[in-house]
Each structure stands twice: as C-alpha cells, then as structure tokens.
Chain A
Amino acid sequence: MRRRAFLAALGGALVGLPRSLPAQQVDRVRKIGILMPYPVGDPEVRARLAAFQDELRRLGWSTGINLRLDERWATDDLDRVRTASAELVRLEPDVIFFTGGRVTRIIQAETREIPTVFVGVSDPLGQGLVANLARPGGNLTGIANPEYTITAKLVEILKEMAPAVARIGIVMNPANPSTAFNRRQFEAAAPNLGIEPHFLPVQQPIDIERAFSAFARDQHGGLVFPSDLTVLAHRALVTALAARHRLPAVYSDRAMAIAGGLASYSADRREMFRQGAAYVDRILRGEKPGDLPVQQPTRYELVINTQAARALGIALPDVLLARADEVIE
C-alpha cells in the first residue's frame, strides 16, 4: 500500500496543491486522449489503463461526470499510430496520454501545444525528447523507463539463472528508437559478462518465429528483451517460442513472466500508469507539463516463473529465488 502510494505520489498526487486549484477548473468536462500502440483491448494494457483510470478517479476525475476519455488503439504499426495521433489531436483534448518511445515522436510531430504525458519511454533526455529531466519544458513529460544499463542487468540475471548460457540475443523492434542505444550498451557490456552478443530484430510475428529458430540452432543460447511494445503485444507467441526453442530468457515486463517467460526485471508498469495519471491530474488542474520533472523508476521488481524454469530444466539457486520480489509457481 505504501509502495503504491509512493508511486502514485511520484506522479504528483500531492497534498494540498492540486486540491487548492480553482474549482471551476474541475467543473467542466475534461477530455483525455489516450493512444495505446497495442492491439485493441489487449488485456494487460487494458488492465494498465484501468489502473490509470482508477488513479484518476481517486484524484477526482470520473468519466461521465467531469472526464471524457478518447481511446485509440493502434498496434505497433506506425502508420496506424500516425492516424490515431492525428485523430486525437483533432479532438483537442486537454491532455494526451500514451506509451512508447516511437509514439512520442509521432505525437510530438502532431502537436507541440496539447500537453502530453508518456509512460514507458526510455531515456527521453538521451533521445532529445526533453531539454532536461528536472524541467522538461515544452508540452511533454512523463514516466521514463529504466536506464539502458538495465539491459546488461537482464543479462546478469540470465547468467545467474542459466550459467551455461554463452550466446545471448537481444530481441527488439528496430522501429523502437531506444533499440540502437540498448544494443550499443549490450554489446559494450558483453565482454565483461563473458557472452557472445547477438541482435534479433523483430517487427512482426513472422520475424519472431524466424529469428528465434535461427538463433536456437546453436547451443547455449539465451535471450534478453529490453522494453519493447512489439514484444509485449506478442507476448504469448514470444514466450511460447522461447520455451519451444528451449531458450532461457529474461524480459523487461512482469506481463512476460506471467505469460510464461522465465523471468522479468523491471519497474512496475501499472504503477507507472498510476504515476502518469497523477501527472495528467496535475495538468488538468492547471500545471504545465514543462514544469513537471520526468520521473525515473525507483523500485525494480524481479519476477521468476519457476514453471518456465522447470520446463527449461533450470534448477534455480535459492539465493536467486530469495531475491525475487515475486515467484510464479
């Protein structure tokens, strides 16, 4: 509970301040445009949006009373993302809420006026999306993904779980702007980790199938998945293929471990959505997105799926299980 409260407040659910803003700002119905680059109604993303809406409701914004949500589901097809983005901008919402680094650029191209709040964008500073983290300026702020160094951490965890792994592939969509950064980090850390780095670009399900089977031809392979919405969208396929090819894999999303992945190490996405809701609330109450610092995740959670481990024939050391924040059995 405290943790949840903490994360909510990271987003700015603040004592006194938002409540003290003029009531008339709260009176009229506010519009939030939501752009989710996932297949329509993806249950996990739907659950995250539910967390977002719950938080808004807790902060005094209820759909049908003083709030209208306009949702657009676009999959990771950037053309569809563009169309959805343009549609949302035409609706002139008070805030646009979205997720994904590649979506950021498209929305930024559409509007520099409407406040926009992101969740799950890697390194917004390094990508040049914001001028600085403390005061982003412009119309963009949000909750960032963990830093790229966490990719090496995924490898470290994978090596701990399956010490035999010597070849590790990093699986990402090249359309993701952070792919290049992640890949560079990964390849730079590889010698220290004593592994052979591989890059497995995936854009659609057929790529995944092809890439995994090609990579699995050689022995001692393992996979790491930095945060990528394409991977999440096809999580069932991804985890199933990893299992079929007997590739131990560590993901950047708890949903992947739930879907059957071996393990995940990341910040909690639902909490990030709640933080995003808190920022939306502050903007609806009159604050400028440019004044709200881009937030970094503070807590990381290690989730281990023992079923997947058993299927892979991996005996997990107790020390590792002891460190896990959640063990799926």
Chain B
Amino acid sequence: MIGVLMFAAALVLLLFGFPVAFTFGGVALIFGVFSEGMDMFAFMPFRIMSIMQNTVMMAIPLFIFMGLVLQKTRLAEQLLESMGTLFGRVRGGIAISTILVGALLAASTGVVGASVVAMGLISLPVMLKYKYDKRLACGTICASGTLGQIIPPSIILIILGDVMGIPVGDLFQAAVGPGFILIAVYIIYILVYTWLNPDAAPAMPVDDSIDRKALYFKAIKAIVPPLALILVVLGSIFAGIATPTESAALGGVGAVFLALFYGQFSFKMVYDSGIETVKVTAMVFAILLGATAFSMAFSYTGGEEVVEEVLLSLPGEKWGFLFLSMLVILVLGFFIDFVEISFIIVPILVPIAEILGINMTWFAILIAMNLQTSFLTPPFGFSLFYLKGVAPEGVSTMDIYKGVMPFIVLQVLVLMLLLFFPEFMGFES
C-alpha cells in the first residue's frame, strides 16, 4: 500500500518542478523512513556502489563526449546537412538522416541514455537551424535514440536474457527483425507527415548554380569522415578489438583526432567538451541515484508484494496475461528504471508465462519493445528527461511531450503487430 502511495506522491511532487533526481530521493526518504526507519538507508551506499561498478554504463559519458566533440567541431552538422542534401528535394531529409545515424549508434551501444543524449547534441541544433518543427525534431530524436534498446547489442536484452534464462545470442538474433521494422516505420511516418505538412521539415535549399555532380561530391566528402568514425566504432566491436563499452572510448578519441585533422582542435575545446560531458552525465546518473533510492523504498516497504499480488491475480489464459503484463510494465516504466523493472517484475512474470506455454524469446522481445515505449511516455519517460537535459533554450518540455506522441503510437502499433502476428516476425507463437 505504501508503495502505491509513493507513486502517487512522486507523481504530484515531480510536477512542482524541483529537480527529478532529488524529488525521487526525497520521496524515498520520507516514505522509507516513515515506514521502515532510518536504517533502511544503510542500504544506499551498497546500491550506489553497484551503479559505480556497472562498467557497461561507462558508455554513457564516453558517447556523450563523442557527440559533444562532433557537435563543437561542427562535424556532426556537416554530416547531417550533407545527408539532408543527398535526399535532394525530399522533405524531412535531416530527420531521416537522424533516424539512420541513430540506428547506427544504436547498433554500437545498448545504453539508451547515451544515444538519446548524443543524438540530441548532434542533430537537434541542426534541425532547428533548418526550421524544422520543434516537435517533429524532438520526437525523431527520442525515438531514434531509444532504438538502442532493441537493436543489438542492447543492455535490456542482455539483462532480460539473464533474468529469463535465454541465451543472449538468441535474443540478439530475434531482435534484428523488429528493429528494422521500427526503423522503416519511423522513416515512412516522417515521409508521410512532411508530405502532408510541408512547413514542418523544409527540404535542404539546393543551390542550382552548382552542378549536381559537384554537389554530391561535396556532400560525400563531408559525410565520409564522421561516418567512418561511426563505422570504426561499430567495426571495432565486430572485429573483437573492443567491447561495446570500450568502443565508445574509441569513438571519443577518434572524434578528437577528426577535430585535429580538420584544424578544429584546441585544448580548450577538449576541456569544454569534458565539462559539458560531466554536466550531462551527472544529470543522467543523478536520476539513477534518485531512482535507486525510490525503488529501494518501494521494494522494502512491500511494494513488490503488491505488484506480485496483482500479477498473480491475472487471468489464467494467454491473452489476458499478455495484455495485463504489458500494461503493468508500461505503467511502472513511467517511474522506474528499466533495469529495476527487469529485476523486479520480469521474474514474477516468467514462471506464469512458462506455465502458459508462451515462447520465451518472443515474450522477451515484447517486453523489450514495451520498455522501449515506456522510455518515451510522458510525463516521466527517461528519454524525455535526457533530451530535456541537453535541449537548447527554446525547446520546452511540452514540445518534447507532444513530439513523441506520434512515435509512441507507432511503437504501440509495431508492438501489436508483434503481439498478434508473431509469425510475421519469425516467431512461433
């Protein structure tokens, strides 16, 4: 019961606008101490330590740094502009480029915070510069940033594999199809939307005085270096040179070398990027620190048992179970980090799913897609927080909220497709 009250209190108190991280911490403190006494907070150092030792999360600052260097040296801008040019008269070219770059980044990291923040730094300013609709821009970034959830390698799939006892390789394989479908659906949406609303995403101005060939040549020249960098990051993983986490450092160092190559290097630029990296990383991790306090208070005051009771009272047939479990995950995803959900909720679901004879790999992909959606749902999707943290002045919270709405609808549609037509995605239901 206290767990439920905590959720309600957090919901109201967050709206006052005090920083999210400390509101989470404060609510945890009030409810935790009230119900269990001060001593419960003796667990906090242990929980913080487990975040400190989570080396997979190291990818977050490293990718943020790469994004910042690419941004400060305007290399990212050139990349996206040139890709936009290549799309010629097609409207929404930069948005489509953002999706594609986001997908590439997703294939190199599995940490959503890292890719949303990096894409926010790299492409939001460019889209705003070319007079894109703010909402479309924000939605595109959040959606393409969360692709890292589903496109392998992905942390969530690794965790789910562990929790559900499925080989990670199988999950990675199974996620490729749904990942590609999402990318395609996003791109189709942008094409249709910009066709209906031409002002939302103007095509790149084409300079007719320049010969087409020269134009393409110029564009390719600008695209190659930063794209090569991303391919180096990806390639280093596939060649076994680096783990996905380490590849992020190769990207950061590579970006500095690119800057050197283009004569944009200065120690001040590197230091400033360092400071910005600290700011954005601290923003992300402060939320994780607050959230771990929140979920600690939630589970030690019996919240876990309440959820378990609800889940165990689910109807004993496949569709009711699938529907309700998806709903519960979606709702909890508003507040609780996906790692905590996988740890707390999924173990309760697994035995029931097994009894109902549900294909576990399929179930895991459904959960991963669902968690990906919960990253995007206002008011408390983590991706929204992350983008807000790096958005330039003039982009309001409301812009982000409204911007992600259509993408949430698209994700739910793909989730439904996966739910009702598993054969279509290569699963036996």
Q: Do A and B bind each other?
A: no
Residues of A participating in the B interface, judged by any CB pair closer than 8 Å: none
